[in-house]
Structure 1
């Protein structure tokens, strides 16, 4: 039996993840769903946002559907997302950006870089250690190369080697691996890349970069498809996989049934594809497009549909097109 861990998290996660779960249930009623509670709300109740037992529960699942979590600005609060990524070694963050005439996959190193978690904080100075290792770089660029070989065969390496010595190492390893694989590649400074990707998205296929640069670049690229409310992501390791919308927990709109669930639903699409159900993934994407073409849209897209109502419309299309 296929088991999907369901982590609603905080804020609008409690609204968009149940919609995405319902989509999965419509396609696969035999799936077993395992609720796992982590996040700021968990910390308020127990004093711990993510304990060992929650990590162990996530490890029992075939895939994880994850909502957004709130990370308060307190120095003694451990980031749930970083802990899970490290505990499950989810080293590849995949963020697709697809639109009219372009299909980009941003591949972000997910376990080190400026999100290494090695930090010090005092009254007059705070320091975060940016870590780039040969092992971490080799495995992320090899993942990007495999994706490029499955697609159009073009790889772009994003870095800031003109300023950061750690990015010299990242760039040199990436270019060496790309040459060895015989793949077409180029490299760009990350600031110039961000601008050019917005101006000429069709020129890009697979983009690989470091942790924080990938975080920022993929958020910037979401402009091409209508914003963060439509952007999904996957966090992939050798043993585990977690799928989550790119957007945050948005506490300012939580509980109002106005959040856009498309990013969460598309994260479920990536989950289906990971589990080998490419037909189901395609059906859900078609259903999303059909519902939007019918004029059923959430407020951020200029419509009046609520979170649940949009999800119900997607499910109706899925069931109609069996």
Structure 2
């Protein structure tokens, strides 16, 4: 029995986490959830945003799955998500997006994944004023060869494993010749390594990439890019397939991985049995793939797809099912 740290989070996090537990139990997944929490709910009770027990659990189990966390404004960390990524060097942000049955969108055949570097770039949060009057502010963008290499290598390995013949690297090296130039040149070097002869490297400038994704998203399968660009593009692509409510995500390092629902905590509907649990359920499917529990990941994914095909959806997707009704239908379809 594999132990996994479950971090419910805030707001609707409790409800969607319960949905995950119920579906995993019904599918007889050999996982035992060890519950620890972080965020506003914990802060209000204990004065800590992240308790020491959560760190110990994640470090012991090496794998976690979390719901949405609200970071208090004006106190605590800038972002709990960013803090955990940095603490555990979770350098690979993995964001798959695919067209799902029963969810009406403008496109009907999207199936791509974005690899976003998770620890560098403008997200390091290093800023300063350049003058005494504080009229000029500067933000530091730090890109390293090591950070570039490992995320791009991940993207190429994923393409190779899944028989995908193209990796798209997104950059702004025409202007940012040192930082983005290093990232782009690293991609070119990796594309020449043994084993990738059948994978084409495509280079696309970030602004053009945004246009291409809203005009021809079907052309792309694997995209790899830097932190800020990846943050923007992954939400853009989620919007093409139904929104953040259907977007799974993962933060993966060499030793520890944290899977997550990337949407907000939606306090306005918390406790009302209205929340859509799809994002955390699909993140759970990706977690099972990561753990090489393919039998269970396929079983749960098929039940989710069958449920959507039958027209059962929560309100945010145009349906009228409650959280518990949607969950129960998935369990029936197992």
* TM-score normalised by L of structure 1: 0.92
TM-superposition CA deviations, 1:203-234 (whole Å, max 9, x none): 11110001111111011001221111101011
- Deviates most, 152-161 or 243-252: 243-252
Among 145, 150, 173, the residue aligned to 2:156? 145
Matches within 5 A, 1:28-43: 28=28, 30-43=30-43
Q: Report what 1:309 is aligned to.
A: 325
Q: CA deviation at 1:30?
A: 4.3
- More deviation in 20-29 or 201-210? 20-29
Query: What's the counterpart of residue 104 of structure 2?
Result: none
| Alpha-carbon separation, structure 2, partners of 1:30 and 1:145 | 31
Q: Is the 8 A contact 1:148 1:154 kept in 2?
A: yes
Q: Cα gap change, 1:29/1:147 in structure 2, threshold over 3 Å: closer, same or farther?
A: closer
Provide closer, same or farther for how the CA distance between residues 128 and 22 of structure 1 changes in structure 2, counting only shifts above 3 A: farther
1:4-58 Cα distance to aligned partner (Å, 9 max, x none): 1100111111111221122122223642210011112222222221144321211
- Pick from 98, 104, 118 the counterpart of residue 110 of structure 1: 118
CA distance in 2, matches of 1:34, 1:286: 26
Stretch of structure 1 that moved more, 214-223 or 194-203: 194-203
Q: Which runs of 5+ in 2 are unaligned?
A: 100-107
Aligned-partner SS, 1:60 = helix
SS of the aligned residue for 1:248 comes to coil
User: Are the structure 2 counterparts of residues 69 and 160 from structure 1 closer, same or farther at C-alpha, using a change threshold of 3 Å?
Assistant: same
The match for 1:154 is 166
Residue 75 of structure 1 deviates from its aligned partner by 6.0
**Are the equivalent residues in 2 in contact too, given 1:17–1:65 (CA < 8 A)?**
no
Partner of residue 223 from structure 1, selected from 239, 254, 258? 239
* Structure 1: distance between partners of 2:296 and 2:168: 30
CA distance in 1, matches of 2:211, 2:15: 34
Structure 1 residues 257 and 169: CA distance shift in structure 2, 3 A: same
CA, structure 1 residues 201+78, in 2 after alignment: closer, same or farther (shift >3 Å)? Answer: closer
Cα distance in 2 for residues equivalent to 1:264 and 1:198: 25
Aligned length: 318
- Cα distance in 2 for partners of 1:85, 1:173 equals 23
* Equivalent position to 2:300, from 284, 287, 294: 284
| Gap runs ≥5 in structure 1 | none
Determine which of 239, 250, 255 is the counterpart of 1:234.
Answer: 250
* Alpha-carbon distance change, 249 to 129 in structure 1, aligned in 2, over 3 angstroms: farther
1:163 and 2:175 correspond? yes
In structure 2, how many angstroms separate the alpha carbons of the residues matched to 1:216 and 1:77?
Answer: 21
Select 2:216's aligned residue among 189, 200, 206.
200
Deviation at residue 305 of structure 1 after TM alignment: 0.6
Task: Indicate how the Cα distance of structure 1 residues 12 and 119 shifts in structure 2: closer, same or farther if over 3 A, else same.
Answer: farther
RMSD: 2.0
